[in-house]
């Protein structure tokens, strides 16, 4: 039984990491733009595809979906991630423009790019926060270490975007950002009773805000400052989130006494 459990994890990671590589290779061979667009979508959805494949191979599909999607805290699972991502990016852009003496402008968002961003609602989080996070919790991994582990794997998984030069920020900055965001994802999930919608919406809202507020270096003549400021604000959000949750836990313990 234990061997099967770890074999499921290995299979999930192998598919999640290998499928994007296969798609990248295929895109270099195939010249048809529509097929390449579909392949790009498949590589982005590799974590979700992998998770679905593994759970159905083990006959756990119905349970998997039932535990992941529920109505508890649904309103909070939609609004809170949008507020956190939107306010974070807005503040980062405002601070950058004030500091650099630049005019506050918004980025352009072509229809095709919006479709790709909207795909983030389904592409990754069913795999990362829905399957991997749950697997680690059920395996008895320390609660505080799970976001660090998931964040590290999630960060490494983006290798194929770096191969395609789809990520313009330095690797070190991207890794730091991933680790901070992984803990925010974890707090959102806990705050909504593990409603995967919170993670899905946060991923979408973060990617959308990144382009709407033109945070990427490619939108700022290669300047990484807006991205650095965003990471710093995310760290502050994380600390505030942790402080609030700690206060709630202390209050709960006091009431029980």
How deeply is 110 buried, as exposed, middle or buried, from its count of CB atoms within 10 A (0-12, 13-18, 19+)?
exposed
Query: Is residue 242 scored above 50 in pLDDT?
Result: yes
How deeply is 9 buried, as exposed, middle or buried, from its count of CB atoms within 10 A (0-12, 13-18, 19+)?
middle
Round to whole Å and give the CA distance between 194 and 191: 7
Query: Is residue 190 scored above 90 in pLDDT?
Result: no
User: What one-character DSSP code corresponds to residue 130?
Assistant: I
Model confidence at 253, pLDDT cuts 50, 70, 90, reads: very low
CB-based contact 173:224 (threshold 8 Å): yes
Average pLDDT over residues 111-133: 89
Query: Is residue 161 scored above 70 in pLDDT?
Result: yes
pLDDT per residue over 81-108, tens digit each? 999 999 999 999 999 999 888 888 888 8
Query: Is residue 246 scored above 80 in pLDDT?
Result: no
Average pLDDT over residues 110-133: 89
- Which pLDDT value is given to residue 248? 60
- Which pLDDT value is given to residue 82? 94
List the one residue out of 125, 249, 228, 238 whose CA is nearest residue 174: 228
- Which pLDDT value is given to residue 241? 79
pLDDT per residue over 5-46, tens digit each? 688 899 999 999 999 999 999 999 998 999 999 999 999 999
Model confidence at 126, pLDDT cuts 50, 70, 90, reads: very high
Average pLDDT over residues 102-125: 87
- Which pLDDT value is given to residue 247? 62
List the one residue out of 83, 72, 78, 49 whose CA is nearest residue 194: 72
Model confidence at 138, pLDDT cuts 50, 70, 90, reads: confident
Round to whole Å and give the CA distance between 49 and 18: 12
Q: Whole-number mean pLDDT of the chain?
A: 87
- Which pLDDT value is given to residue 205? 95
Round to whole Å and give the CA distance between 41 and 23: 9
- Which pLDDT value is given to residue 43? 95
Stronger pLDDT, 218 or 10, i.e. the higher one: 10
Average pLDDT over residues 166-183: 91
- Which pLDDT value is given to residue 178? 93
How deeply is 68 buried, as exposed, middle or buried, from its count of CB atoms within 10 A (0-12, 13-18, 19+)?
buried
> Which residues are within 8 A (CB) of 94 and not within 5 positions of it... i.e. 6 or more apart?
104
């Amino acid at each position: 039984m234990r061997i099967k459990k770890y074999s499921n994890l290995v299979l999930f990671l192998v598919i999640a990491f290998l499928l994007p590589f296969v798609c990248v290779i295929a895109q270099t061979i195939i010249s048809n733009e529509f097929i390449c667009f579909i392949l790009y979508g498949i590589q982005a959805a590799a974590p979700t595809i992998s998770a679905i494949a593994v759970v159905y191979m083990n006959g756990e599909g119905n349970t998997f979906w039932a535990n992941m999607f529920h109505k508890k805290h649904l309103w909070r699972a939609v609004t809170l991630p949008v507020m956190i991502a939107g306010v974070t990016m807005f503040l980062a852009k405002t601070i950058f423009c004030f500091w650099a003496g630049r005019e506050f402008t918004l980025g352009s968002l072509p229809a095709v790019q919006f479709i790709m961003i909207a795909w983030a609602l389904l592409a990754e989080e069913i795999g990362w926060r829905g399957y991997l996070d749950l697997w680690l919790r059920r395996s008895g991994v320390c609660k505080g270490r799970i976001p660090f582990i998931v964040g590290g794997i999630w960060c490494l998984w983006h290798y194929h975007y770096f191969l395609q030069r789809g990520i313009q920020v330095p690797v070190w900055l991207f890794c730091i950002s991933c680790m901070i965001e992984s803990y925010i994802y974890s707090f959102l999930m806990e705050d909504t009773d593990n409603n995967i919608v919170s993670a899905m919406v946060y991923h979408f809202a973060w990617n959308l805000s990144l382009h709407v507020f033109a945070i990427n270096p490619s939108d700022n003549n290669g300047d990484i400052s807006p991205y650095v400021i965003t990471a710093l604000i995310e760290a502050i959000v994380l600390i505030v989130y942790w402080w609030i949750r700690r206060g709630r836990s202390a209050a709960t313990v006091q009431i029980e006494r």
